[in-house]
Structure 1
Amino acid sequence: MNISIANDFSDVPAGRYLSDGDYSGEKFREDFLLPALRNANESNLVIVDINGVEGYGSSFLEEAFGGLVRKGGFSEKGLKGKLKIIANEEYSIYKEIIENYIKEA
């Protein structure tokens, strides 16, 4: 399964919680990431394309991706077998940040 944050969710994702708006990290995790990951297996990865947005706040990224471990029931190891983040050079720093949030969670 492929998810493009810019095309499938919003090109201006922002906020941590649902109360922060329609394009929060919590909403992305609950409505996109968790359902996709629960249906994924090793031959059917969830590929998240993080390119094309205006930028990411740390609260969005931490809640969406770190929240997979803290609230979603996944482990860092379990996510490595199910989740792949795609980023071009411009967005590669966000990919590193996401990976760190998953590790720290």
Structure 2
Amino acid sequence: MKTKKLKNIVVTDFHPKPYGRYTTDGPGCELSSGEVFRDKVLAPALRDYDLVHVDLTGYNRYGRSFLDEAFGGLIRESGFNYQELKEKLTYDHESVKSILQVIDERIEAAERDRNS
């Protein structure tokens, strides 16, 4: 089993201030959006590895739109399903646990939409 741990990938290896849903949301979003994080980092890692852990610690102001596009978009745009994500993807934030609840909600909503 190949495991990839994305330790602080969002703030150290992706962007120090993730912002926006799409690349077109505003200046800088072509580098910082949830769409870019999903397409360039998260989806490829999930395709290449059996387990992927994303540590979101280090930034406390993730927008709902960024989280929805990055994580819910895995189902809507990248061809994953809820069961695959539950088996392969984990995520954590040391101090803001509500971020994890938002991610859970966005993944579940994307799966409901996919099935309707």
Fold shared per TM-score above 0.5: yes
TM-score for both structures, normalised by structure 1: 0.91
* Superposition deviation, residue 100 in structure 1: 0.8
The amino acid that maps onto 1:98 is I
1:87 aligns with 2:96: no
The percentage of counterpart residues that share the same residue type is: 43
1:18 aligns with one of 20, 23, 35:
23
* Superposition deviation, residue 96 in structure 1: 0.9
Higher alpha-carbon Rg: 2
Q: Which runs of 5+ in 2 are unaligned?
A: 111-116
SS at match of 1:2: strand
1:99 aligns with one of 79, 87, 104:
104
Q: For residues 97 and 16 of structure 2, what CA distance do their matches in structure 1 show?
A: 17
* Superposition deviation, residue 11 in structure 1: 2.1
Q: For residues 80 and 5 of structure 2, what CA distance do their matches in structure 1 show?
A: 19
User: Is the Cα contact below 8 Å between 1:11 and 1:54 reproduced in 2?
Assistant: no
Q: For residues 100 and 77 of structure 1, what CA distance do their matches in structure 2 show?
A: 14
Please provide the CA RMSD for this pair: 1.0
Counterpart of 2:72 in structure 1 is: 66
User: Is the Cα contact below 8 Å between 2:57 and 2:92 reproduced in 1?
Assistant: yes
* Superposition deviation, residue 85 in structure 1: 0.4
Counterpart of 1:2 in structure 2 is: 5
TM-score for both structures, normalised by structure 2: 0.83
Q: For residues 62 and 26 of structure 1, what CA distance do their matches in structure 2 show?
A: 9
1:47 aligns with 2:53: yes
Paired residue total: 101
Q: Which runs of 5+ in 1 are unaligned?
A: none
